[in-house]
Amino acid sequence: MKAMARFAGAVWLGISLVGAIMAGEQTPWVAPARAAKKANPIAADAQSMARGKQLFTKNCLSCHGETGRGDGPAAKDLERHPGNLSDPKMFEQSDGALFWKITEGNKPMLSFEKTLTPEERWDVVNYVRTLAKKP
């Protein structure tokens, strides 16, 4: 009986996901708990944020835009809208979660694991924090 209930639940979940995809809804992009708990080893000081801004401008601005709103020049050609990094809800995400997302990527966003060093990715996290107003 439990196996049948699990199977029915899995079928319902599958149908729900297909329905959401067909309706154009995006599933939330959530970092694994272990990654989200990772502490930022780089102080969010002026030097880190300046390095992060430079890296953001080079690697992220074309899609996320100058102010992080997802309105960069390349955004219009993407199958999914880039995340709005200026949204105050960004503060609901930990530094570790942002670091994981920058590292892993999520199509159409590229992975920066091999492009940027861990320190550079933390600098980007520190800079991205400046784009959203605290709620």
Q: What tens digit of pLDDT does each residue of 30-78 get? A: 999 999 999 999 999 999 999 999 999 999 999 999 999 999 999 999 9
Rounded distance between C-alpha atoms, residue 63 and residue 59, angstroms: 9
Among residues 101, 83, 67, which one has the least CA distance to residue 75?
Answer: 83
Helix 46-59 and helix 118-128: axis angle, to 10°?
100
- pLDDT given at position 86: 96
Rounded distance between C-alpha atoms, residue 2 and residue 4, angstroms: 5
- pLDDT given at position 28: 86
Is residue 27 over pLDDT 50? yes
Non-local (6+) Cβ contacts of 119 within 8 A are 42
What are 84-116's pLDDT values in tens digits?
A: 999 999 999 999 999 999 999 999 999 999 999
Structure token pair of residue 12: 């319902």
Is residue 131 over pLDDT 50? yes
